[in-house]
Structure 1
């Protein structure tokens, strides 16, 4: 027995689920979306950083150790 559902019914059900999530689990959904946005931002920053020249250890470690030039 095969179960099928129309695209319109699928859309309707998904809309109901999303609305219910927004009503009952707002903080959880907010955290999930925030985490996803942070991951996208990190991935974009990594990609952007790879386009530029690398910085030597001699320049980085003094900054990390609080030794400003």
Structure 2
């Protein structure tokens, strides 16, 4: 016997599961959302701060060595 589930049933089941997770594990859901927001913010900050003038590795190490 072959078991098959159509797309609508799958969608309904996943929705029920997600609602149950949100209700019972608010802490887990909160952590997931927080992490997603942090990742998006980091990506946006990198994109905004990125410029075409890159600093060579040698200059970075020279600056780090000069602080000693």
Q: Which runs of 4+ in 1 moved over 2 A?
A: 1-4, 51-54
Match of 2:31 in 1: 31
- CA shift, 1:5, in A, is 1.5
Q: Distance in 2 between matches of 1:27 and 1:20?
A: 13
TM-score normalized with structure 1 length: 0.66
Count of equivalent residues: 55
TM-score (norm 2): 0.67
> Structure 2 stretches of 5 or more lacking a match?
55-68
Pairwise mapping of residues 54-69 of structure 1 onto structure 2 (< 5 A)? none
* Matched residue, 1:58: none
